[in-house]
Amino acid sequence: MSGFVHLVGAGPGDPGLLTVAGRRALERAEVVVYDRLGTEELMPLCPPDAVLLNAGKSPGRQAMTQDEINAALVEHGAAGRRVVRLKGGDPFVFGRGGEEAEALRAAGVEYAVVPGITSAIAAPAYAGIPVTHRGVATSFTVVTGHEDPTKESEQTDWDALARVPGTLVILMGMGRLAAISAALIAGGRPPGQPAAAVQWGTTPRQRRVVATLGDLPARVREEGLGSPAVVVVGPVAGLAEGIDWIERRPLRGRTVVVTRARAQASELSDRLRALGAAVVELPAIRISPLPGTPELDDALTRLDGYGLIVLTSVNGVDALFAALAARGRDARALPAAATVVAIGPATAERLAAHGVRADLVPERFVAEGILESLAQTPLDGVPVLVARARGSRPELVDGLRARCAHVDEVELYEAVPEPADPDAVAAALAASHLTFTASSTVRSFMGLLGPGERAALRGGPRVVSIGPVTSDTARAEGLEVHAEAAEHTIPGLVAALLADVAAAAPAP
């Protein structure tokens, strides 16, 4: 039985620019053949058991030849597997996707093309350069600069391109920029016409040089720009300073480490990227459901007898409803007369997603806040269910029992330390900020470090904590906490980070 191959455009580098269709294909893939550029941050979307084949190309090095790539797509597709060929930009814009499609068609393997956003328009847009603009340019031409404009056999007619009105966008031309510039000027483009080079477009590493066509090669050398880059020639390049938007992002130039579990990192990572930060995802923990216990079975059997049910995290909500679902039950099993307490708005939102409205959300999103919110509630003899993580702080249960409540504490999951890539650890130590969303992330992160790496933290990344309990753990581990969220949520954490950046020295 034949499989199916998706030729997917990964976009220009910003992972948020991947299309919905591309994401769905990656999430279902059994084999992924990926390029070097524009794909790195998309790898976590692949299933954990997917076979990943690096087909990346870099100057002077090629992991797989085009013939080898074609053969791999045919081999895995013909073997009945779901295959994704993940290509930077768009598969059919200087991506050789047409050749891959021809190989698949010849072999009788079914395929589909998922277009991607090409860097030809995305990199200029992120640099404040519209490739067309009313009254300035009504057309644009995209050309590869990979050919040598001085050789006799090249296909690109630079004289003709110099005479074409509108914007000229040159991909893969940085290695021959001086020769290309000279050829365009010789063909009639004015040497004083605005031109720009955008390196690592759409990513936090993006750099931009705006000059004239005649001066651009020298300016690029002075600024140290190299490949990969997009070159734009035409009056629209002169609009960059007025239209630029990416450089105004408050976290531009900052690298922020996210230590949340991989399954939960996206919310924080997405917020940080939207603010211009480069994000290093270093999941220090993994959320692992605990096997069923007699205590859990007993609690769920007697669920309708509880007068108070307390959920202390989003993970606790998910684990509780997973346990109910495993027993063929759902939100209707919760007693209508019970008071349901959610430790914070995120936990309340997750409860609502399961069809349960929280009756009480304390003002402070910690165990002590729950106790304060219940200060006027009679608890003497009230059956209470506290569903939470293994190893949680005892203050909540002790406080409830001190008020004579009959408390059943049920452990539903645990935070397990996650092994880390040494390169990711090194990147974290070189970052501008470390973020911690729970005490478990602090302890697990510090457990990844040797004595020398712990010493490197002194005077290194600034530490931002989600709340006082996490901050106390960080200090106990020898860290200095530079900022703490006033509201103990992900938006609160981001707000604390922004405040710390605003108060610190300008970004490098």
Residues 85-102: tens digit of each pLDDT: 999 999 999 989 999 999
- Same domain? For 166 and 113 the reply is no
Is 474 within the bounds of a domain?
Answer: yes
Least confident range of 208-212, 226-230, 409-413, 432-436: 409-413
State mean pLDDT over 365-380: 87
Check whether 131 has a pLDDT greater than 80.
yes
**pLDDT tens sequence across 195-213:** 999 999 998 889 999 999 9
Q: Mean pLDDT score of the chain, rounded to an integer?
A: 89
Check whether 506 has a pLDDT greater than 70.
no
pLDDT at 488: 86
Check whether 150 has a pLDDT greater than 60.
no
Sort strands 406-417 and 285-289 into parallel, antiparallel or unpaired. antiparallel
Per the CB < 8 A criterion, the answer to whether 233 and 167 are in contact is: yes
Per the CB < 8 A criterion, the answer to whether 500 and 464 are in contact is: yes
Is 508 within the bounds of a domain?
Answer: no
CA proximity to 508, closest of 294, 269, 317, 251:
251
- Which of 416, 436, 452 marks a domain boundary? 416
Taking the C-alpha atoms of residue 277 and residue 364, their distance in angstroms, rounded to an integer, is 29
**pLDDT tens sequence across 470-483:** 999 999 999 999 99
pLDDT at 59: 55
- Which of 379, 398, 416 marks a domain boundary? 416
- Same domain? For 19 and 100 the reply is yes
Burial of 321 (0-12, 13-18, 19+ CB in 10 A): buried
Check whether 153 has a pLDDT greater than 80.
no
Query: What pLDDT band is residue 459 in, cutting at 50, 70 and 90?
Result: confident
- Indicate whether this model's pTM tops 0.85: no
CA-to-CA dists, residue 108 to 73, 436, 447, 494, angstroms: 12, 51, 52, 51
DSSP E strand boundaries for 76-115:
82-88, 110-114
CA proximity to 119, closest of 17, 212, 21:
17
Taking the C-alpha atoms of residue 389 and residue 412, their distance in angstroms, rounded to an integer, is 6
pLDDT at 105: 96
- Which of 400, 416, 432 marks a domain boundary? 416
Per the CB < 8 A criterion, the answer to whether 341 and 364 are in contact is: no
Per-residue DSSP letter, 116 = -
| Residue 150: domain span | 121-248
Is 57 within the bounds of a domain?
Answer: yes
- Same domain? For 301 and 398 the reply is yes
Is 389 within the bounds of a domain?
Answer: yes
The neighbouring-strand residues paired with 308 are 339, 384
Is 208 within the bounds of a domain?
Answer: yes
Query: What pLDDT band is residue 292 in, cutting at 50, 70 and 90?
Result: confident
Q: State the CATH number of the domain containing residue 498.
A: 3.40.50.10090
Is 397 within the bounds of a domain?
Answer: yes
Report percent pLDDT > 90 for the chain.
Answer: 57
- Same domain? For 95 and 183 the reply is no
- Same domain? For 217 and 336 the reply is no
Catalytic residue ranges: 35, 57, 172
Domain count, the chain: 4
